[in-house]
């Protein structure tokens, strides 16, 4: 039936109109006007949508089909064609266009969701490492307090041993802090501001460890 409608001279114009409308709507499915599934930052991975994102697609399909059917019916009526056939064809084209629009919107929602998940994971990881560093700093501070009560020769020897461990920890901490700063610089401003509190906390703990390192270094040469 659709083949006959397309071949009909009266329906050629409506079909072309609906097809052009479909392409136009599809081009608006993503910010770049590209293929559905590709956002402003490029391909965002396999199209594994959550429930809300699938609902976006379903609603767009239904809405597109309804609008397409109405448009097809009206065009067929105005051109003297088969109204039911026009509605069917319009519904098909509208549904396809709605699918493209829905996937474009769902991809944007998915991209935001994955970005937020990534931010939460980054903050949790930074907080966990900062907690460890803070605990380590307390341990070093307690150790320094013990060393102060030792005789000078013993204190220097023990400080040298302690210094090696602190140097290793400080090197790892500096590398980690640099990687966090680099990650923060690539984040959108709103996300970077949320990440900044843990970044600053890590920097403070790093500075604290560096000060303990300086104190241990002085202790290690006190007997010379």
Asked whether 60 and 68 are in contact (CB, 8 A), the reply is: no
Whether residue 129 sits in one domain with residue 101? no
Output the pLDDT for position 12.
45
Query: CA torsion, points 61, 66, 68, 74, in degrees to nearest 10?
Result: 180
pLDDT (0 to 100) of residue 16: 43
Q: What is the pLDDT of residue 19?
A: 45
Specify whether the CB–CB gap between 110 and 81 falls below 8 A: no
Q: What are phi and psi of 81, to 5 degrees?
A: -90, -175
Q: Cβ(191)–Cβ(115) under 8 Å?
A: yes
pLDDT, one tens digit per residue, over 82-123 is 888 888 888 888 888 888 887 787 777 777 666 677 788 888
126 in the same domain as 111: no
Q: What is the pLDDT along the chain (224 residues), one digit of tens a residue?
A: 444 444 443 444 444 444 444 444 444 444 433 333 333 333 333 457 777 778 888 888 888 888 888 888 888 877 888 888 888 888 888 888 888 887 787 777 777 666 677 788 888 888 899 999 999 999 999 999 999 998 988 899 999 999 999 999 999 888 888 888 888 887 778 778 878 888 889 999 999 999 999 999 999 885 54
Kindly report the pTM of this predicted structure.
Answer: 0.54
pLDDT, residue 97, reads: 85
Range of the domain at 163: 120-220
Residues 181 and 76 reside in one and the same domain = no
Q: What's residue 178's pLDDT?
A: 84
- Domain identity same for 85 and 184: no
Give the pLDDT of residue 33. Answer: 36
Q: What pLDDT is attached to residue 86?
A: 80
Same domain, 86 and 44: yes
Q: Enumerate the H helices of 28-82 as residue ranges.
A: 51-79
- One domain, residues 130 and 104: no
Q: What share of the chain is helix, strand, coil (3-state, %, to 5)?
A: 85, 0, 15
Q: For the chain, what is the domain count?
A: 2
Which residues, listed in sequence order, are joined to residue 42 by a DSSP beta bridge?
39
Single residue among 88, 116, 144 that ends a domain in this structure: 116
Pairwise CA distance, residues 93 & 19, whole Å: 7
pLDDT value for 117: 78
DSSP 28: T
Classify residue 12 by burial, with Cβ atoms within 10 Å: 0-12, 13-18, 19+: middle
161 shares a domain with 102? no
- Provide the pLDDT for residue 132: 93
Point out the domain boundary residue: 100, 116, 132: 116
Boundary of a domain, candidates 78, 93, 116: 116
| 96 lies in the same domain as 178 | no
Distance of CA 105 to the CA centre of its chain: 15
């Amino acid at each position: 039936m659709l083949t006959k409608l397309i071949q009909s001279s009266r329906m050629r114009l409506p079909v072309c109109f609906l097809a052009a409308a479909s392409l136009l709507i599809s081009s608006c499915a993503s910010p770049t006007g590209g293929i559905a599934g590709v956002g402003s930052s490029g391909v965002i991975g396999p199209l594994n949508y959550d429930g809300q994102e699938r609902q976006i697609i379903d609603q767009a399909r239904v809405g597109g089909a309804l609008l397409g059917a109405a448009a097809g019916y009206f065009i067929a009526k105005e051109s003297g064609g088969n109204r039911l056939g026009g509605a069917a064809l319009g519904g098909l084209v509208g549904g396809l266009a709605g699918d493209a629009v829905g996937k474009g919107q769902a991809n944007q929602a998915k991209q935001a969701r994955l970005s937020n998940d990534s931010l939460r994971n980054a903050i949790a990881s930074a907080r966990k490492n900062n907690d460890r560093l803070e605990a380590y700093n307390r341990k070093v501070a307690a150790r320094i307090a013990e060393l102060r009560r030792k005789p000078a020769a013993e204190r220097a020897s023990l400080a040298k041993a302690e210094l090696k461990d602190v140097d290793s920890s400080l090197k790892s901490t500096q590398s980690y802090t640099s990687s966090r700063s680099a990650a923060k610089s690539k984040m959108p401003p709103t996300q970077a501001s949320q990440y900044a509190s843990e970044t600053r906390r890590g920097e403070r703990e790093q500075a604290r460890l560096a000060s303990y390192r300086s104190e241990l270094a002085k202790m290690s040469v006190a007997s010379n």
